[in-house]
Structure 1
Amino acid sequence: MLTGLYGAGFLGRKIGRAIDTPFVFVDDTPSKVGTVIDEHDVTNLEQFSRNGPSHSLVLYVCIFQPGFSYLRKRDQIRATYPGLDVRPFTELFHSSASGVLPYLFFESPTDLSEKLGLYEKISRLLNDDLSRSTLSGHLAFRLTGQFEKIVSTPRRDLSFLCDVLSPLVTYVDAGAFDGDTAEDFVAMTKGRFGHLCLVEPDPNNLSRAEKRFADLCRPGRITFRQEAVSDVRGLMGFNALGSVGSSLDPDADNKVKTSLLSDFDSEGQLYIKLDIEGAEIPAIRASIDFITSRRPILAISVYHRPDDLLNAIKLLEGIEGYAFYIRCHGPAGEDLMLYAIPN
């Protein structure tokens, strides 16, 4: 039997270094095909399928990035190569590549099983049935590796949020990337808001955000700030990759200004979205007094670390009057968001 790892990028190479099974990389990038990466040949799907009858080939899809759907890719591959055994990378996480864990929100099923009681307590705090089914589906996906368990919702389908937003609300998008989430906010509110503040430390991402909003928003209604929300004010090393993977790194040579949540306060209703590549919990912890007194609406990314949701709820549940919702906006379990709405 021949094993293929589909995707010779970050995740595929990380898994490849962790397994002992002989394999080849399978990739669609023409410049990679025919090369050798980490001592493994790189081929494409057509060449891989020629290596024998389909029942003797196993292909693990090793791609996990925003907007990428394993289920859609699996169906596309099967349509062209009927009978090919296509499997998700999560099967390897639970077997021969378990040493890669933890990876983002993935952890060993044993470790996760020991926390299910804590998640049951969180479920009882949630304010609607869709939040509870979203959490249940996400946990089932993490336990089994089955993408079919995921319950996802479009980012613009947030009636519980729209119902409480003031037409003068200030929306602070911390970790704005290229402005895609802020654009969803503008569409969701039909342009009824006071001000947008896009906070993004990567200059290339921020430049793309400025171009995105050139025709979407009058200059007086939007501010762009090249900063990183953190747990301290000052300067910190930053890896500017020009992608969703840009993140703070104390060892990086490039420096970026870091700020606290309170540095983005304004009059009236305040709505803060935090998607800052795993730095969400320290940022909230450092600003908990500000959150307690100011009581902004919060949308917190809780998929960068296995315990992000547990830690976020632990920090916020003691603040009187917050209602909690959970939505997953990504087809592969990414963009799991905790929404905290003050009464």
Structure 2
Amino acid sequence: MLTGLYGAGFLGRKIGQAIDAPFIFVDDTPAKLGTVIDGHEVTNLDLFAARAPAEPLVLYVCIYQPGFSYLNKRAEIHARYPDLDVRPFTRLFHAAASSVLPYLFFEAPARLREKLGRYEYISQLFSDDLSRSTLSGHLAFRLTGEFEQIVSSARRDVPFLLDALSPAVTYIDAGAFDGDTAEEFVSMTGGRFGHLCLVEPDANNIARAQQRLAGLVQPDRVTFRQEAVSDVRGMMGFNALGSVGSALDAGAEDQVNTALLSDFDKEGQLYFKLDIEGAEVPALRASLDFIAARRPFMAISVYHRPDDLLDAMTLLEGIDGYRFYLRCHGPAGEDLMLYAIPA
């Protein structure tokens, strides 16, 4: 049997380095065709599929990016090669490449099963059935690796949030990237907000956000701050990749200013979106007194670490007057968001 890893990028190489059995990379990038990466041949899908029926083929899709759908990619491949055995990279997580774990929210199934009782407890704290089915589907996906288990919904399908926001709300987009979620917020609210504050430590991302929002929002209604929300004030190492992967890193040479949630306080209703590459829980922990006093609306990313959701709920459940909702806005289990809505 000939094994192919579809995707010779970060995830594919990481998985490949953990596999002892021989394989080849399959990649769509023309410049990679015919090269050797980490000691493995790189070919394209057509040349890989052409090796059948001389030998059985299995192709693991090792791509995991925002907006990428494994199910759509599998359907696309099967439309061209119906008999090709296509599998998700999660199958390798549970077998030949288990040493890669933990990776984002993925962890060994045995470890996850030990926590199911805690997940059942927080499930009862959610305010609607869709939150509970979102959680159960996400857990089933993590346990089985089957993308079909995911329950996802559109980012704008959050009536519990939109119906409660004031027309004068201040929206603090922490981890604003290139302004994509701020742009969607403007669209979702129909422009009914007081002020936007985009917080993004990567200068290249800030520049792209400014271009994206130019002409969409009046200049006096938007602020751009090149900072990182964290659990301390000061300076911290930062890897500026100009992508969604830009993140704080104590060992990095580049430095960026860090701030607490309370540093963005402003009179009136506050709404924080926290998507800060795994720093969400420490940022919440450092600002619990501020959260309890001001009770802002919050949308918190809980998919960068295996225990993000458990840890965030442990911190927030003790604050009176919040209702909690869970939504998965990504087709592949990413963008799992915990919404904390003041009653």
TM-score, structure 2 normalization = 0.99
Q: Match for residue 78 of structure 1?
A: 78
CA contact under 8 A between 2:126 and 2:324: conserved in structure 1? yes
Q: Match for residue 295 of structure 1?
A: 295
Root-mean-square deviation (CA, aligned residues, Å) is 0.8
Q: How does 1:108-187 map to 2 (within 5 A)?
A: 108-187=108-187
TM-superposed deviation, 1:52: 2.1
Q: How does 1:181-196 map to 2 (within 5 A)?
A: 181-196=181-196
CA contact under 8 A between 1:54 and 1:84: conserved in structure 2? no
CA distance in 2, matches of 1:52, 1:162: 53
CA distance in 1, matches of 2:36, 2:55: 25
Q: Match for residue 277 of structure 1?
A: 277
CA contact under 8 A between 1:98 and 1:108: conserved in structure 2? yes
Q: Match for residue 316 of structure 1?
A: 316
CA distance in 1, matches of 2:333, 2:288: 28
Aligned identity (percent) is: 75
TM-score, structure 1 normalization = 0.99
TM-superposed deviation, 1:266: 0.4
TM-superposed deviation, 1:7: 0.2
CA distance in 1, matches of 2:151, 2:54: 31
CA distance in 2, matches of 1:124, 1:231: 29
CA distance in 2, matches of 1:280, 1:53: 49
Give the number of equivalent residue pairs.
Answer: 343
CA contact under 8 A between 1:55 and 1:85: conserved in structure 2? no
Letter in 2 for 1:42: V
TM-superposed deviation, 1:215: 1.4
Letter in 1 for 2:66: P
CA contact under 8 A between 1:54 and 1:83: conserved in structure 2? no
CA distance in 2, matches of 1:289, 1:55: 63
Tell me, yes or no, if structure 1 residue 263 matches structure 2 residue 263: yes
Letter in 2 for 1:313: M
CA distance in 1, matches of 2:326, 2:174: 19
Q: Match for residue 340 of structure 1?
A: 340
SS in 1 for 2:304: coil
Q: Which runs of 5+ in 1 are unaligned?
A: none
TM-superposed deviation, 1:54: 8.5
Q: Which runs of 5+ in 2 are unaligned?
A: none
CA contact under 8 A between 1:156 and 1:188: conserved in structure 2? yes
CA distance in 2, matches of 1:54, 1:290: 65
TM-superposed deviation, 1:184: 1.1
Q: Match for residue 216 of structure 1?
A: 216
CA contact under 8 A between 1:5 and 1:12: conserved in structure 2? yes
TM-superposed deviation, 1:70: 0.2
Structure 1 residue ranges, 4+ long, deviating more than 3 angstroms after superposition: none
CA contact under 8 A between 1:55 and 1:83: conserved in structure 2? no
Q: Match for residue 35 of structure 1?
A: 35
